[in-house]
Amino acid sequence: MTLVDLPLGRERRVNAVLVEGAKLTLVDTGVNDPESIAILEQAIAGRGHQIEDLQQIVITHAHPDHFGAARQLAERSGATVIADPVSAASLVSYPKGSQQYGEIRAAFMREAGAPETLVEQFGQRGVRTWVPAESVPVGSTVDDGDQIQMGDTTWQVVQTPGHAISEISFVDRASRTLLSGDIILGSGGASVTLYAYPGGRPGRWVLDILASLDRLATFQPRRILPGHGREISDGARAIAERRAGILRRLEEVERLVQKQPLLAWEVSLAIYEPPLAGSWPSLFQTIGYLEALEAQGKIRSTVEHGQRIYGSH
Ligand SMILES: [Zn+2]
């Protein structure tokens, strides 16, 4: 198994994983950009294969940094593209829905009390222009409990929502290897995201992340190949640390809003240090903690003049 580190814009990186053996498989593809595809091509050549040899392209979740190049790679190789059913629907219809997704997030940011400059900057950065990506013809779907052969190994498919509304991870129990997508990042950082659940609120996504981490912990993984960042060698420990970090933040945020009613923006400025304080990732993360606490019944919120204020009961 080879983790391929690919460029994502000027500052960030994203991973693809090449799984060699009887079924040559690529898990995630990076973006649809000539530089990124050239790097991928080189990495595959370095292992003695070419893109044309790919038999399967498996997508962990429907974010364009993970599936951007899938259409092109599938056309070149004839590989079957595989995803979970919910992600598959987004992949096939991309970028339909992306504009609406941007508008929902801008609305959450306004409600959180974020400065209009941040909302506008984010609003203009529609998902379509965020990274180059094309819609993907999905040939087959797998979901929780299914098995899939990649390389020479039969992997267990585990549904691990939280970072995305639907995301699949892959476990090889024998070698205790986990392909985690973005539910666990190599940086140990938060899987920052913000999306609406049916019904309109961001809702439970931090709680979903916790449940997904608990689920993955039961496999006691050693090696984790994440969607971003470096390979993790002590997987069980990384999961425990990630989980503890979320619980610490939840307690911290609960204490703050129990003392006085606050907007999500105010909470984010209070709990993060510069340069994270005042950035959209920390705001999204904060909204996630607050919404999780409200979903647990520990705090409650009211909307006044278009802004959502969180406080004690
Ligand atoms: Zn990602």
Cα(228) to ligand 1 centroid in Å equals: 6
Cα–ligand 1 centroid distance for 279 (angstroms): 18
Q: Is the pLDDT of residue 125 over 70?
A: no
175 Cα: distance to centroid of ligand 1 (angstroms): 25
The Å distance, Cα 163 to ligand 1 centre, comes to 9
> Could you tell me the pTM of the whole model?
0.94
Average pLDDT over residues 272-295: 92
Q: pLDDT tens digits for 60-74?
A: 999 999 999 999 999
User: What's the gap in Å between 153 CA and the centre of ligand 1?
Assistant: 25
Report how far ligand 1's centroid is from the alpha carbon of 260 (Å): 35
pLDDT, tens digit (0-9, with 9 covering 90-100), for 131-174: 889 999 999 999 999 999 999 999 999 999 999 999 999 999 99
Residue ranges per domain, the chain?
2-311
Interval 266-273 mean pLDDT: 96
pLDDT at 114 over 90: yes
pLDDT of residue 127: 46
Q: How confident is the model at residue 128 (pLDDT cuts 50, 70, 90)?
A: very low
Which residues lie closer than 8 Å to 190 by C-beta, 6 or more apart?
Answer: 245, 246, 281, 285
CA of 115 to the centre of ligand 1 (A): 26
Q: 2-311 adopts what CATH topology?
A: Metallo-beta-lactamase; Chain A (3.60.15)
CA 233 to CA 224: how far, in whole Å? 7
> Which tops the pLDDT comparison, 26 or 128?
26
Could you tell me the distance, in angstroms and rounded to a whole number, from the CA of residue 93 to the centre of ligand 1? 19
pLDDT digits (tens, 9 = 90+) for 88-103: 999 999 988 777 777 8
User: CB–CB of 108/194 below 8 Å?
Assistant: yes
The pLDDT > 70 percentage for the chain reads 95
Could you give the CA distance from residue 247 to residue 200 in angstroms, rounded to a whole number? Answer: 25
Mean pLDDT value across the chain = 92
DSSP 180-246: EETSS-TT--------PPTTSS-TTHHHHHHHHHHHHHTT--SEEEESSS--BS-HHHHHHHHHHHH
